[in-house]
Amino acid sequence: MTVEPARADTSASDPLPWHWQELDWASMRPGGGHDELLVALIAAASFVESATAVYTRNLVGHFHDRPEVRDWLDAHWRDEELQHGAALREFTQRAWPDFDWPAAYATFHADYTRRCTPDDLNPDPQLELVARCVVETGTATLYRSFHELALAHDEPLLADLTRRIMRDEVSHFRHFHGFFRRVAEPQRRSRLARLRVIAARATEVRDDDAACALRHVHAHRFARRAGDTGFDALRARGASVLRSRYPFAMVVRMGLKPLDLPARVGMAIERPAAWMLARLMR
Exactly one of 79, 155, 169, 209 binds Fe ion (CB under 5 A); that residue is: 169
DSSP category for residue 74 = I
Q: How far apart are CA 109 and CA 3, in angstroms?
A: 8
Packed helices 231-244 and 125-152: angle between N→C axes, nearest 10 degrees: 90
Q: How far apart are CA 168 and CA 166, in angstroms?
A: 5
Exactly one of 20, 62, 73, 81 binds Fe ion (CB under 5 A); that residue is: 81
20-to-3, 57, 95, 105, 123 alpha-carbon distances in Å: 21, 24, 16, 20, 35
Residue 238 beta carbon to Fe ion: minimum distance, rounded to whole angstroms: 18
Total interface residues for Fe ion by CB under 5 A: 6
- Span from 26-34, 45-53, 97-105, 116-124 in contact with Fe ion (CB under 5 A): 45-53
Residue 152 beta carbon to Fe ion: minimum distance, rounded to whole angstroms: 22
The Cβ of residue 213 has, within 10 Å, a number of other Cβ atoms equal to: 28
- Our finding on whether 147 is near Fe ion (CB under 5 A) is no
Exactly one of 78, 84, 164, 216 binds Fe ion (CB under 5 A); that residue is: 84
- Span from 14-22, 67-75, 170-178, 182-190 in contact with Fe ion (CB under 5 A): 170-178
- Our finding on whether 172 is near Fe ion (CB under 5 A) is yes
Q: Which of residues 88-127 bind Fe ion (CB under 5 A)?
A: none
The set of residues, in sequence order, having a beta carbon less than 8 Å from that of 159 and lying 6+ positions away, is 147, 150, 151
- Our finding on whether 155 is near Fe ion (CB under 5 A) is no
Residues near Fe ion (CB under 5 A) are 49, 81, 84, 139, 169, 172
